[in-house]
């Protein structure tokens, strides 16, 4: 199975947070699964850090590889899917992650209850 991490899940995973559910932890650690870190995750983290809204370590390609995650770039299909996306969620980063999840047919691993309205969570 293929999954995409929501940004808070990525940060919680890297910090070893107890906020991360056992269900999501099992999906991340299952060697049969492919887990993606989206360019959207890194974009969101860096923007929020630059605005002083988030303190987080730098995340680079090595950290992503060391966690056995795969990189997921943003492409035009992901962006075009925004036009058909219901407006259950106003966060532009989450909306683009949701579109990537839909286009890639890879559930979004998230603890955000609003995202469950899109029926793309695992």
Which tens digits make up the pLDDT trace of 10-35? 999 999 999 999 999 999 999 999 99
Task: Determine the topology of domain 2-118 in CATH.
Answer: Rossmann fold (3.40.50)
pLDDT (average), residues 55-59: 91
pLDDT computed for residue 122 by the predictor: 60
pLDDT at position 88, please?
85
pTM score, two decimals?
0.93
Q: Where are the domains of the chain?
A: 2-118
The mean pLDDT of 89-98, rounded to a whole number, is 93
Instruction: Tell me how far apart the alpha carbons of residues 71 and 54 are, in angstroms, rounded to a whole number.
Output: 22
**H or E element in which residue 4 lies:** strand 2-5
**Side-chain-facing half-sphere of 102: CA atoms under 13 Å:** 21
| Residues 85-113, mean pLDDT to the nearest whole number | 93
pLDDT bin (cut points 50, 70, 90) of residue 93 is very high
What percent of the chain is predicted at pLDDT more than 90? 87
**Could you identify the residue written with the tokens 């962006």?**
79
The CB density around residue 113, as the number of other CB atoms within 10 Å, is 8
* Mean pLDDT of the region 45-73: 96
């Amino acid at each position: 199975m293929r999954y995409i991490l929501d940004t808070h899940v990525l940060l919680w995973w890297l910090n070893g947070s107890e906020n991360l559910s056992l269900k999501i932890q099992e999906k991340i650690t299952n060697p049969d699964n492919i887990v993606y870190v989206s360019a959207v995750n890194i974009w969101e983290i860096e923007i929020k850090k630059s605005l002083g809204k988030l303190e987080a370590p730098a995340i680079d390609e090595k950290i992503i590889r060391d966690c056995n995650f795969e990189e997921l770039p943003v492409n035009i299909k992901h962006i075009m899917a925004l036009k058909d996306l219901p407006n259950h969620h106003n966060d532009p980063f989450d909306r683009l992650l949701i579109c990537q999840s839909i286009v890639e047919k890879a559930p979004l691993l998230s603890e955000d209850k609003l995202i469950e309205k899109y029926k793309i969570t695992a």
